[in-house]
Structure 1
Amino acid sequence: MSQFMILIQGDESRWGTMTEAEREEIDSAHREFRRQAGDAIVASGELERSATAVTVRRGDNGEPTTVDGPFTEAKEVVGGFYLLDAPEREAAVRLATLLAEARHDHSGVQVQPLVDHSAG
């Protein structure tokens, strides 16, 4: 088994203006995703809005410094994630296609394998 990070990305300004029907479609798709993924889900979560983030980076003096908000300016931000154990990438991608965010015009779903540091 390999582990895959599924990052759910979208336009934050659209999230606040979704209709109740759009929210229900997304929630329903997440319930179906969870049903089909079952025990393959290692962890999952929905993130607070990006304005609540703090970025820690190397400061001018070489020491870590913090900045309110995300480091990058982007239209799309990560709004949630799933960490999955899956036999191969295709299985993780198949599950990711169940998410409504993969069908909306303001969002997307990224599937990326984790590096396995346990060998050797």
Structure 2
Amino acid sequence: MKYLLILNINPDVLAALPAEEQQAIGAGHQKFMDTIKASGEFHSTVALQQPAQSSVVKVRNGVPAVTDGPFVESKEFLGGYYLVDVASRDRAHELAAMIPDAGIEGLGVEVRGIEFADGI
């Protein structure tokens, strides 16, 4: 079964960490990717740009409009994800616990099963 391990980022939390802890996060993500690739559970991953670099497209009365945004009310935003293919939900939880973000106060890793996918 495929699970999305969702990284919800709070830049204020990350900025408050000492530089060595910030560097350890990157190294921890690389170690995590090496682990799930070696086990065959890795499917894909993406890191997203911050919301300030995004835009929103809306079509009203057949006319598309592009605006800055989204403007989120929360300090947290979707920063990226890992898509893993594992034997069970429990295994997805085990993997999520290996991601450095899970060990940082104010952050976490959301685990969500894939209901439907086409082409993955």
Deviations 1:49-98 (A, max 9, x none): 11111123454x37654331225321111112111111111111100101
Q: Tell me, in whole angstroms, the C-alpha distance in 1 between the residues paired with 2:36 and 2:26.
A: 15
Q: Closer, same or farther in 2 for the Cα pair 1:101/1:32, shift >3 Å?
A: same
Instruction: Report the TM-score when normalising by structure 2.
Output: 0.80
Q: Tell me, in whole angstroms, the C-alpha distance in 2 between the residues paired with 1:62 and 1:22.
A: 49
Any conservation in 2 of the 1:29–1:100 contact (CA below 8 Å)? Answer: yes
Equivalent residue of 1:97, what SS? helix
- Following superposition of structure 1 onto structure 2, how do residues 1-120 of structure 1 map, counting pairs within 5 Å? 2-38=1-37, 39-57=40-58, 59=60, 61=61, 64-116=64-116
Q: Closer, same or farther in 2 for the Cα pair 1:91/1:57, shift >3 Å?
A: farther
Any conservation in 2 of the 1:55–1:71 contact (CA below 8 Å)? Answer: no
Q: Tell me, in whole angstroms, the C-alpha distance in 1 between the residues paired with 2:33 and 2:22.
A: 17
Give the alignment's Cα RMSD to 1 decimal: 2.2
Deviations 1:20-53 (A, max 9, x none): 2112221232123112211322111221111111
Q: Tell me, in whole angstroms, the C-alpha distance in 1 between the residues paired with 2:71 and 2:115.
A: 24
For structure 1, the 5+ residue unaligned runs are: none
Give the deviation of 1:116 after TM superposition. 3.3
Aligned residue pairs total 116
Give the deviation of 1:7 after TM superposition. 0.8
Q: Tell me, in whole angstroms, the C-alpha distance in 1 between the residues paired with 2:116 and 2:48.
A: 25
Report % sequence identity: 26
Q: Tell me, in whole angstroms, the C-alpha distance in 2 between the residues paired with 1:80 and 1:117.
A: 18
Instruction: Report the TM-score when normalising by structure 1.
Output: 0.80
Q: Return 15-24 or 79-88, whichever deviates more.
A: 15-24
Q: Closer, same or farther in 2 for the Cα pair 1:117/1:102, shift >3 Å?
A: closer
For structure 2, the 5+ residue unaligned runs are: none
